[in-house]
Structure 1
Amino acid sequence: MRLQILQLALAAVCSTAATAKIPFYIIHNAETPSFGRPGLTPVGKQRADCCIPNVFSDWNIGLILTCTVDRDGKEGLNCPAANRTAFPLAQSLGINIATCATGDGADDDCPSNTIKKFNKSSNQSVLIVWDSTDLEDLLENVDTDASLDNDSLGLHADLILSVNPAKLKSVGQSSMNCTGLDGTA
């Protein structure tokens, strides 16, 4: 009898963990040069190499998701910068970076499906590091209630969007507060 009660309790805990709605976070690539030149600026490199790993080191991140440039090279132009932004954190956490395509012909459900699949076997959070020029599509594809109509949303390299799926994908925002990089709000 005790064994059956223990098995039922364990099954309830396991099924709850598998369906838990774990918050995930979205940032975009660190600062890039003007005129569409590739790479990160010196400030962007400092944000990627020092600030982001310091900020997210204790956030229980188990998966980093970023984007890839579409096949014709027209969409996702800042995806290489997003990947460069994500790499130091992934390296410090010892995790791989997963990717989803952007642009025409891309699987719009890839970000949501990747998060759902990861959450089936983990209770860790996901950090999405995305192309700054494609944030509006990403926010739509992960079914948030966020909109880029709000001038403060998605336009600053220091912005962290916190998405809480348990509250109808509501979005909160905060600053990375990188000393020497982020100005006063």
Structure 2
Amino acid sequence: MLTFASRLAAAFISLLVLGNVFVHAVPNTVFIITNAETPSLKRPGLTPIGLQRADECIPNIFKNFDIGMILSCTTDRDGEEGLSCPAAQRTAKPLADMLGLNITTCGTGEESNDDCAHDKMRTFGKNSTQNILIVWDALGMDDLLENVDVDFPDDEEDDDDDDDDSLGMHPDVILTATKSTIKFQTSMNCTGIDGPADGSF
């Protein structure tokens, strides 16, 4: 049986752990999307539907979301990972131009700094309460969520599934996270592109 002192020590340690989680959690609301639709066979650029999503739908959705930072990825130095990062940046550019923002970038792959995205978000969060939009390579979503310490509630998604369907991340999906937990998964509902869908946890 645990003594009172042991229970008190355990409670104190739990508080320290929880406190550490919340200290490291980005206080801003974070919206996460993937690159818009790309051609098959790893051809570069966006499809006509992808261009419509990037040029029309995404700016129309996020123009009133008080976005103060747009974060995207860059291709790994060896070129083996992050193949859709140019598409992700192209997806983010029209909104960035509309809002007068530069696109902040972090690398992907083994040679990149895993803490880059989280560190840049935390630095932004220390100086601004505006929201953050992440536009990332669809195939790198699992790694992204791990690196920025964002999780589905109650470990709803299994990190062991490494394919791009593990998160259900179709180009129309918006993940909304607060305090490191994904609270909502919704559809962009782009006219003529997406069917309506909405979900919360």
**Common fold by TM > 0.5:** yes
Distance 1:54 1:119, change over 3 A: same
Describe the shift of the 1:154–1:89 C-alpha distance in structure 2 as closer, same or farther (beyond 3 A). farther
Q: Is 1:114 aligned to residue 126 of structure 2?
A: no
Instruction: Output one character per residue of 1:145-170: Cα deviation in whole Å (capped at 9) or x when no partner.
Output: 233659573431100000111xx523
2:191 to 164, 179, 182: 179
What is the aligned counterpart of 1:105 among 107, 111, 114?
111
Uncovered stretches (5+) of structure 1, i.e. residues with no partner: 1-18
Say yes or no: does 1:144 pair with 2:158: no
- For the Cα contact (< 8 Å) 2:71–2:104, is it kept in 1? yes
CA contact (8 A) 2:189 2:196 kept: no
* Aligned residue identity for 1:69: T
Q: Which of 142, 161, 171 lines up with 1:157 in the alignment?
A: 171
- How much does 1:142 deviate? 1.1
Which letter maps to 1:55? I
Ranges of 4+ aligned residues in structure 1 off by more than 4 Å: 148-152
Name structure 2 gaps, 5 residues minimum: 1-24
SS at match of 1:105: coil
Equivalent-residue separation in structure 2 for 1:155 and 1:84 (angstroms): 18
TM-score under structure 2 length normalisation: 0.77
TM-score, structure 1 as length reference: 0.84
**Cα RMSD (Å):** 1.9
Percent of matched pairs sharing the same residue: 57
